[in-house]
Amino acid sequence: MERVLVTGSGGFIGSHLVKFLKEKGYWVRGVDIKYPEFSETKEDEFLILDLREKVNCLKAVIGVTKIYQLAANMGGMGFISSNGLASYETSLKINMNMAEAADWEKARILFSSSACVYPTNKLDIVNPLPIKEEDVLPAMPNEDYGWEKLTAEKIYQAYARERGLDIRIVRYDNTYGEEGTYKGGREKAPAATCRKVLEATDKVEIWGDGEQTRAFMYVSDNNRGTWMLMESNITEPINLATQELITINDLTDMVCDIAGKKDLKKVHLLDKPQGVRGRLIDTSRAKFLLDWEPEVSLRDGMERTFKWLKEEINGTVL
């Protein structure tokens, strides 16, 4: 059995990726500063380690051939818009340490970057053109989180260029699904919308005017694409996303329909952060080089997410 490491495996994407890799037959070590919030650990070995300390990164990589580097300090729009220092202080330290550790162990490393690296001037309209990987320069991300991710990409590319580190870089765009954070400030739009609709009796709050557009990728499509990239020989950054663009107003209507609450009134909070106006990510490189395309429609994925969250909330004292 090939031995692999998933850092950040206590988080949403990481915990799902562990399950996916176990089903593929890998021996998996997980590392995080916390256990998964909504599921049991599925790893063969789970270590509680603070990866801001280089010695812990060296411990984490011992004996593995591949590293999925998902560890980061992040959340939804409410978190990243007001926690820039947290992104830099935590995530950049982790990525410097993990690049060094991967080089020391001579292991292949995949870095989970973000569509937030793309320039704001290409994302300031509701219906933007699909943005390609090469559009990242000249750089002008919207938030510190995007600058941190882009800087980390450059760190890994420098290690590859100067030390021969075997790297993969994936840029995720709005991954969602079951067992994700849905309250507390770090939740993202799909889970937050499901929670608001579930709790609502007459109205549901929306940040901004609700006409900002996004595309959301279900977590199983994320897992499959991430694994395919890791197993490929592609070292340039790859986008993973869907082309199913939707406004936040229409996403809310979709969840209201799923919940059977079509009469809820939308209340728009114009003083709340809403990020870029629109974002649509081009995935032609992933389709051509990996033969990857998303398989789960937004409606299907939101129905699964809503069903899980309804069961979770009904068993939780709010």
Q: Which residues contact 141 (CB under 8 A, 6 or more apart)?
A: 116, 117, 118, 119, 120, 147, 149, 150
Residue 21 tokens read as: 């890799």
Rounded to whole angstroms, how far apart are CA atoms 222 and 258?
23
Name residue 14's amino acid. Answer: G
Residue 176 annotated in active site:
no
Measured CA distances, 242 to 89, 207, 219, 237 (Å): 31, 22, 11, 16
Rounded to whole angstroms, how far apart are CA atoms 227 and 234?
12
Q: Which of 26, 68, 118, 145 is catalytic?
A: 145
Q: Which amino acids are annotated catalytic?
A: 145
